[in-house]
Structure 1
């Protein structure tokens, strides 16, 4: 035989060897991927794991079974065994990825779709509780109302400078864990500390349908006082484990907060491959915000009221600068979102409360379209029912409003002197969002003169 040519048998053996190497190479890639995913998951959950043990179901979902890779004697002896192991390992990798990321296997069979993570980003007295209900009322969304309240109450940061950055980073990292359904992260901030994952002090639990429905709503316990109890049914203390498991079973996750101001700090969440973030920034005329805060937080604005009515007291410069800082942080975040940087494109929406108040259902559909979620008839029915409530029949925290009538009531409650102060320090933000200045008291109180420029709801495609 010519030594320069391989025999048919040698060629066949070579091909067989190459097939084996190719299989092993592909298998190695999947094993490495599993290790990387496992390592990332361990790092991310380390803080929470120090505090509380995660549910067994989640731990099992993130584990690997060496029996899927190796035979009894520790080696793969044939291509058929390799094919079988390869298929099983690929399936396990997909399941683990679904558990860690934007979608996951449900308890019952369904057509898998992308799991959205919606953040409603606002400031106090902008109507965020009302708008948050648009997502709270949808049965396939796990909704949380102001969970960062616990962090603000527990971790002290002075406003401004490095401390403001520090607080933003803490808020961001807690947000990430919450969007991953790691609700245990909150247990270190709830006071008094939960025992056995049970707490009676989850802030505004009653504002989250997901925390007040089965199976999270456990049988009522007599003589156990729950500060923020469920509104429409009696439940036992919140079981954080049941809440975390319920979160995983929902198709989507939504959260509203008034404690995140800097959009740029949210970039790691937007770029996290396990999340499919949609950020909705809600803004409102700062004159209306001040008028509302003077009612809701009356004691904090006594100096403002006295200065406006008597003119004798000096308006606190620190308060004026705080108002300026709030307006500027909102404006800078909105400008960043509207610039459409690559990392934020398609994931940021700016919407004005006034537009929602005038056309709530239309704008709710716009928000759902932006989030990539189909709105249900239940949400539409809730909006129709709760945006036509009788005037003056609701408290300051109510989510029932005659929205088309009430959104301009502030024009008759704020003294013109205070409106002027707001206009002077918040002018750039008002210009960006399309809020017109009032040149005199008559303009301010004349409803036939609109103080709102017509702007279409903006979201990036």
Structure 2
């Protein structure tokens, strides 16, 4: 009897083991199929890109600007021994992606914010809304400055055909915490991924935090040194590692001309990019630039005094081109094509200056990133905002004076020129025309139309 029971028990154990083995095989097979399908979906799509053709020559004279050599570009000559490394890095990002896990896998939960603007629109102030987040935010201030500088032509302009792809590829690398594309444009070139020459390093708190703050090197001058602590030259390897530990990444840039050129970033499955375009009344921008870059606006000042503005002048055409680029980018964004669906937000500087807390809240809601209390404290401290009865923080009274201060510094003649060449842009963004000098300087008349761009 006992032997019979033992034999039955052994048979049951064998059948149970066999059944478990079969079930395990089935489960493993199904999981392999699921993983295979998911992997196929996550494989980055190949976006056709024209290789960047940049022709570069050293400066014709040993001129210097900002304590570093300036390189002039032409379309006919190339110095391969000096710049071959830059061209190769730009044309072979595939090799980097294969060796870098983050370039091959999607960044689940990570947000990538690109703040787009032009100079003198308040972008540095708005960028602080994200820079002050700290903690889980990796913020970079104007990294494309180096790219624009490297692609500057002898005539003073930028090689637009080369700049667009270069900006896009460098931004893609930075969002993936890869600084090698940017290193290709820094002069002098970094040594072992270390440089003391990163533009405005001190404006990116992430690059001055302890993990990235290396020991001071005697005899090495760092022009844009950190203010919060003494740090040595920037080590891009450490910066990359610190970037990967952050949950979100924000880049502020005034150098991208057309939003359409950044479409590959929006379609990159490894990224979750949100674009915030900051705009400002072009009359205010001109007035601000005439003060900040006085040497470059001598013609405008002369026109304001001596006579009529030549509408066919290069400076006027440049103004029109800037306005058109801003408007065309905004038109693309506001139409919300499939690749930009829920990825684009338009914000006017005037609205931020009048309602800083409200607009900051809207921007954080748009990005899906929690609005940190320390950012709110910074905004209150730097705008002297007070709480309104409605519970919405605003600096409407004080900031309105700052927002429209330009109206009393720009000659009406120049305001008319801006209204003529930038009319369609002003209408799109809700900036009213001043019909007379009296209207321009009348504080009781607002030149800002209340408008909702959502």
Q: Could you say which residue in structure 2 is the equivalent of 1:286?
A: 282
TM-score normalised by the chain length of structure 1: 0.75
Match of 1:273 among 253, 269, 276: 269
**Superposition pairs for residues 146-225 of structure 1, below 5 Å?**
146-156=142-152, 163-225=159-221
Task: Work out the CA distance in 1 between the residues paired with 2:373 and 2:361.
Answer: 11
Shift, 1:271, TM fit: 1.0
Shift, 1:406, TM fit: 1.2
Task: Work out the CA distance in 1 between the residues paired with 2:96 and 2:447.
Answer: 52
Q: Could you say which residue in structure 2 is the equivalent of 1:122?
A: 117
Structure 2 vs 1, CA of residues 369 and 312 (structure 1 numbering), >3 Å: closer, same or farther? closer
Structure 2 vs 1, CA of residues 269 and 39 (structure 1 numbering), >3 Å: closer, same or farther? closer
Q: Could you say which residue in structure 2 is the equivalent of 1:47?
A: 89
The question of 1:27 aligning with 2:23 is answered no
Long gaps (5+) in structure 2: 1-17, 50-87, 386-397
Shift, 1:193, TM fit: 0.6
The one-character-per-residue Cα deviations of 1:344-389 (angstroms, maximum 9, x if unpaired) are: 1110000100000001111001100000001111100111111239
Match of 1:371 among 367, 370, 383: 367
Shift, 1:310, TM fit: 1.8
Conservation of the 8 A alpha-carbon contact between 1:211 and 1:243: yes
Q: Could you say which residue in structure 1 is the equivalent of 2:423?
A: 427
The question of 1:254 aligning with 2:253 is answered no
Task: Work out the CA distance in 1 between the residues paired with 2:224 and 2:194.
Answer: 14
Q: Could you say which residue in structure 2 is the equivalent of 1:395?
A: none
Task: Work out the CA distance in 2 between the residues paired with 1:54 and 1:432.
Answer: 42
Conservation of the 8 A alpha-carbon contact between 1:303 and 1:313: no
Q: Could you say which residue in structure 1 is the equivalent of 2:78?
A: none
The one-character-per-residue Cα deviations of 1:185-229 (angstroms, maximum 9, x if unpaired) are: 211111101111110000000000000111001122333210111
- SS of residue matched to 2:133: coil
Count of residue pairs brought into register by the alignment = 384
Conservation of the 8 A alpha-carbon contact between 2:426 and 2:432: yes
Conservation of the 8 A alpha-carbon contact between 2:116 and 2:277: yes
The CA RMSD over aligned residues, in Å, is 3.4
Shift, 1:410, TM fit: 0.5
Shift, 1:403, TM fit: 3.8
Structure 2 vs 1, CA of residues 49 and 245 (structure 1 numbering), >3 Å: closer, same or farther? farther
Match of 1:136 among 131, 145, 149: 131
Task: Work out the CA distance in 2 between the residues paired with 1:133 and 1:419.
Answer: 30
Structure 2 vs 1, CA of residues 417 and 162 (structure 1 numbering), >3 Å: closer, same or farther? closer
Task: Work out the CA distance in 2 between the residues paired with 1:238 and 1:276.
Answer: 27
The question of 1:407 aligning with 2:403 is answered yes
Conservation of the 8 A alpha-carbon contact between 1:282 and 1:353: yes
Conservation of the 8 A alpha-carbon contact between 2:353 and 2:403: yes
Long gaps (5+) in structure 1: 1-12, 63-95, 104-113, 390-401
Conservation of the 8 A alpha-carbon contact between 2:45 and 2:268: no
Structure 2 vs 1, CA of residues 343 and 309 (structure 1 numbering), >3 Å: closer, same or farther? same
Shift, 1:266, TM fit: 1.3
Conservation of the 8 A alpha-carbon contact between 1:158 and 1:164: no
Conservation of the 8 A alpha-carbon contact between 1:157 and 1:167: no
Structure 2 vs 1, CA of residues 37 and 173 (structure 1 numbering), >3 Å: closer, same or farther? same
TM-score normalised by the chain length of structure 2: 0.77
Residues 263-272 or 370-379, more deviating: 263-272
Task: Work out the CA distance in 2 between the residues paired with 1:185 and 1:138.
Answer: 26
